[in-house]
Amino acid sequence: MLKAPQHQVAGHEAAGIGKLGPLVDESGHFYKPLQGDKRGSNEVAFYTSLSTNSEIPEHIQRFFPRFYGTQHIEASDGSGLRPHLVLEDLALGRANPSIMDIKIGSRTWAPESSEKYVEKCLKKDRESSSLPLGFRISGLQIYRSKELGFWKPGKKAAMKLSTEEVKLVLRRFISSNTLDDLDLKPDCAFASTVYGGSTGILSQLLELKAWFEDQTIYHLYSCSILVSFEKELALEGKDPGAQIKLIDFAHVYEGRGVIDHNFLGGLCSLIKFISEILTAPGECKIEVSAKADQKDLTHSANGVVADQKSLTDAVNGVVADQKNLAESDNGVVVDQKNITNSVNGIVADQKNLAESDNGVVVDQKNVTNSVNGVVADQKNLTDSVNGVS
Amino acid sequence: MLKAPQHQVAGHEAAGIGKLGPLVDESGHFYKPLQGDKRGSNEVAFYTSLSTNSEIPEHIQRFFPRFYGTQHIEASDGSGLRPHLVLEDLALGRANPSIMDIKIGSRTWAPESSEKYVEKCLKKDRESSSLPLGFRISGLQIYRSKELGFWKPGKKAAMKLSTEEVKLVLRRFISSNTLDDLDLKPDCAFASTVYGGSTGILSQLLELKAWFEDQTIYHLYSCSILVSFEKELALEGKDPGAQIKLIDFAHVYEGRGVIDHNFLGGLCSLIKFISEILTAPGECKIEVSAKADQKDLTHSANGVVADQKSLTDAVNGVVADQKNLAESDNGVVVDQKNITNSVNGIVADQKNLAESDNGVVVDQKNVTNSVNGVVADQKNLTDSVNGVS
């Protein structure tokens, strides 16, 4: 019985009805539909090359999903038989994994790419954190608790995090005290067991780095490192199964005698971020660079606004972690309490929402009105009009 | 007494009469004219910050030219007093240094740059080896002998070298057998004394790399590593004075908590090239990738050859855009027609040249003979021997 994977944080999801996306079976296979154009054949060629290339040492092979060839199966969108890559299901055996999908490299396009493709990618690289940071978080979910489920910010918001916000997210990822209240300063309780240690994330990243300093076989563009672990195991004092896996190889090129300096640079940048947490887990600046730590903010337009209290208006931007927001238009709004109005955007994880129009609203309690949008997982909803509830 | 530096391989040269460029005095100072726009003040700000920042360890400070402030001196172009950066003259005490100016980073522009500047730089990065290799050779001179002087290919040709050509140049740089005959496979005779050893180039590059993996103070765009040594000392079995220095800081930005992943990636790529020479000095592929579009080519060895017709012989150098070339040995030859012989030198833009040996020859018409000297801008020259004309 094939079904949509439960823990997809980025990429093409099959979760929506009638959408093409990956599928998993119960014996640990992950079926990824081949993209119709050159990307599909590129990815097959890469996995085939990787699995047969004796120059890739075993301790590096383990960072890639196992490859079981390709297979025609019924596509998730009901469009009939379609070729799929058959890969290892990386979430197999994981109950509630915390996951980050981190796209590596300040440049997601190859020198050989077409003008049109370069333009498209460059725009995204410049708008996201790829250019300044050398990587971007393409998606993430952090397990909080059975009651609260996952903290799963929107992909667009995740992509554009500033340096300080990325630092915050990387700390929140391995903290215990943000389970109930995202307002708290992350305690980095699992830093040493997840990021640190001889088998931890940092150690794995350093192994990968050593290989990238030397290998001239592949150049990986737009490829991600999937970082995951099980918070519940960490809480119980067990091995949390911290692991990194490389995924997404639709844009792999031959190295032709040159190292993948683009991937390596981004990887080193990520390593530096993780190292800093291990060196000084207590030194987390909560303030973010865009507009930070403001209290009693009256208006905020067109920008990232985070961690404020008593905001009156916020327009056209990402708004996060605030309390007592009066109005928010046209943007992503997450994790707030006591919001009065929110129009045309994604609103998530709030309590005591009075009104929400035209957008996706999830995980809230005590919503009074929600119009024209998707509303999910709520309690005590009074009105929901014209949408899926 | 100020004069133009003798061993400038890239950047703005003052060699031409009436051109603005750097000057040197006899006590080891290098005067670099401040660029009028923001670049000038940026570079002063960088040197000031660097020389006063106690976070930069001494073993890293030594990779930068010493800074002696700024000073108003008579500009080289005769335009009067002008502010100059006063720096350490890196060529002081060097008789015949072999030098490479290697611009580091696949991207020479900062995320903060203006649209227009990004476009300009991106074009150059894509046309040069910066994008594929993570660095480009902005200029070089390799000392051959007292008789032959330096091998100094054109900057434009150097910038665009392919992977295999860069490998060849990096080997030629530390070889002894290319003194007389650039046609020979480089013997890499000085690889271990110049690139290798505890104080050699590779060791210095690795020290720099370790710092770049950690430092988040500066992001250096369009900055070069100047690699130099004295071949004559190496031949005598003495310490060849192999050194790297970072130069050109008109495009330095604050790191703001992020490592310079762009510089680091390019640096690691260069390190890999140098390491390979030390690991396998004998494995130099002579065939080069860029040989394109020529018709009726009889011989062409070891160099870049492009767009010509009816070429008979072209050896060991960059040869471009000519027609009806009979012979061209060991040098850069561009844009001429009906040339009969050209040996060992730079020959450019002439027509109907009969012979030109061992020197720089530019912009003339109907030259019959030119031996051992610089010849410029004349018409109908019959003989010019051993001198400047």
Per-residue pLDDT tens, chain A, 389 aa: give them: 899 998 888 876 555 567 899 999 999 999 999 988 899 999 999 999 999 999 999 999 999 999 999 999 999 999 999 999 999 999 999 999 999 999 999 999 999 999 999 999 999 999 999 999 999 999 999 999 888 899 998 888 888 899 999 999 999 999 988 655 666 789 999 999 999 999 999 999 999 999 999 999 999 999 999 999 999 999 999 999 999 999 999 999 999 999 999 999 999 999 999 999 999 877 654 433 333 333 333 333 333 333 344 334 444 333 444 444 444 444 344 344 444 444 433 443 444 444 444 434 434 444 444 444 344 444 444 444 433 43
- pLDDT score for B284: 54
Q: Which residues pair with A245 in a beta bridge?
A: A226
pLDDT for B222 equals 97
Q: Are residues B99 and B87 in the same domain?
A: no
CATH value at residue A226: 3.30.470.160
Mean pLDDT value across residues B119-146: 95
Same domain, A79 and A213: no
Cα dist. B39→B33, B224, B253 in Å?
11, 15, 11
Instruction: Note the pLDDT tens digit of each residue in B30-78.
Output: 999 998 889 999 999 999 999 999 999 999 999 999 999 999 999 999 9
d(CA A269, CA A129): 12
Same domain (yes/no): B115, B264: yes
Distance CA B111, CA A133 (A): 10
What residues form DSSP beta bridges with B97?
B230
Q: Which two tokens stand for residue B120?
A: 């300009």
Cβ neighbours, 10 Å, residue A142 = 21
Contact at CB, B107 and A111, closer than 8 angstroms: no
Query: Phi and psi of A321, rounded to 5°?
Result: 60, 30
Provide the Cα torsion A321, A323, A327, A328; round to 10°.
0
What type of residue sits at position B37?
A: D
Read off the tokens for A389. Answer: 């509830």
Of B122, B214, B261, the CB nearest to A106: B261
Chain center to CA of A24: 19
Query: Is the domain of A147 the same as that of A230?
Result: yes
Helix axes B163-172, B261-279, angle to 10 degrees: 60
Cross-sheet strand order for the sheet of A97-104: A149-151, A135-145, A97-104, A224-230, A243-247
Strand partners, B207: none
Higher pLDDT, B300 or A337: A337
- Nearest CB among A257, A258, A265 relative to B261 is that of A265
Q: Which of A343, A337, A307 is nearest to A325 (CA)?
A: A337
**Nearest-5° angle of CA B162, CA B167, CA B170?**
120
If you average pLDDT over residues B306-314, what whole number do you get? Answer: 39
Q: Flag whether A292 is in a domain.
A: no
The residue from B43, B67, B92 where one domain ends is B92
Taking the alpha carbons at both ends of chain B, their separation in whole angstroms is 25
Residue A12 lies in a domain: no
Does residue B135 carry a pLDDT above 80?
yes
Residue B305 CB contacts under 8 Å (≥ 6 apart), including other chains: B290, B291, B292, B294, B297, B311, B314, B319, B320
Q: Which member of B133, B167, B261 has the closest CB to residue A134?
A: B261
| Residue A121 and residue A113 in contact, taking contact as beta carbons nearer than 8 Å | yes
Its ipTM equals 0.74
Same domain, A236 and A353: no
Q: Is residue A5 part of a domain?
A: no
pLDDT of residue A307: 39
Which token pair is B38?
Answer: 């923001």
Structure tokens at B247: 């130069």
Q: Single out the residue in B259, B289, B319 at which a domain terminates.
A: B289
Neighbours of A18 (CB within 10 A): 9
Could you report the per-residue pLDDT of A240-256, keeping only the tens digit for each? 999 999 999 999 999 99
- Maximum separation of any 2 CA atoms in chain A, in Å: 64
Amino acid at B243: Q
Mean pLDDT computed over every residue of chain B: 79
Structural domain for B20, as ranges: 1-92
* pLDDT for position B1: 82
Whether B199 and B275 map to the same domain: the answer is yes
Q: Does B264 touch chain A (CB under 8 A)?
A: yes
Would you state the pLDDT for residue B16?
Answer: 58
User: How many Å lie between the alpha carbon of B122 and the closest alpha carbon of chain A?
Assistant: 11
DSSP letter at A295 equals B
A83 and A102, same domain (yes or no): no
- Is residue A15 one of the residues assigned to a domain? no
Write the CATH number for B55: 3.30.200
Q: Under an 8 A CB cutoff, do A272 and B216 touch?
A: yes
Confidence of residue B320 (pLDDT cuts 50, 70, 90): very low
Min Cα–Cα distance to chain A from B21, Å: 33
Boundary (domain end) residue, out of A37, A55, A88: A88
Choose the mutation target among A261, A273, A276 for the interface with B, i.e. most B CBs under 10 Å. A261
Residue A150 is predicted with a pLDDT of 92
**In-domain check, residue A11:** no
Q: How many domains does chain B have?
A: 3
Length of chain A: 389
Contact A284, A171 (CB under 8 A): yes
Q: CA angle, corner A243, sides to A237 and A249, nearest 5?
A: 160
Tens digit of each residue's pLDDT (9 = 90 or more) over B202-257:
999 999 999 999 999 999 999 999 999 999 999 999 999 999 999 999 999 999 99
Mutate to test the interface with A, among B133, B261, B269 (most CBs of A within 10 A): B261
- Chain B: closest CA distance from residue A108 (Å): 12
DSSP letter at A299 equals E
Residue B346 has pLDDT above 70, yes or no: no
Q: A137 forms bridges with which residues in the sheet?
A: A102
Query: Is A263 part of any domain?
Result: yes
Q: What angle do CA B244, B245, B249 make, to 5 degrees?
A: 150
- Domain identity same for A69 and A169: no
A121 and A251 both lie in a single domain: yes
Q: Which residue has the higher pLDDT, B348 or A261?
A: A261
Does residue B354 share a domain with residue B281?
Answer: no
**Which residue does chain B place closest to A261, by CA atoms?**
B265
Q: Are residues B220 and B235 in the same domain?
A: yes
Q: Do residue B43 and residue B98 come from a single domain?
A: no
Q: Measured between CB atoms, does B269 come within 8 Å of chain A?
A: yes
Banded model confidence at residue B19, pLDDT cuts 50, 70, 90: confident
Answer yes or no: is A104 within a domain. yes
Residue B332: strand, helix, or coil: coil
Query: Does A106 lie at the interface with B, CB-CB under 8 angstroms?
Result: yes
Pairing of strands A29-33, A23-24: antiparallel
Tell me how crowded residue B81 is: count the other CB atoms within 10 A of its CB: 10
> What is the C-alpha R_g of chain B?
21
- Between B165 and B376, the more confident residue is B165
- What pLDDT, on the 0 to 100 scale, is given for residue A180? 57
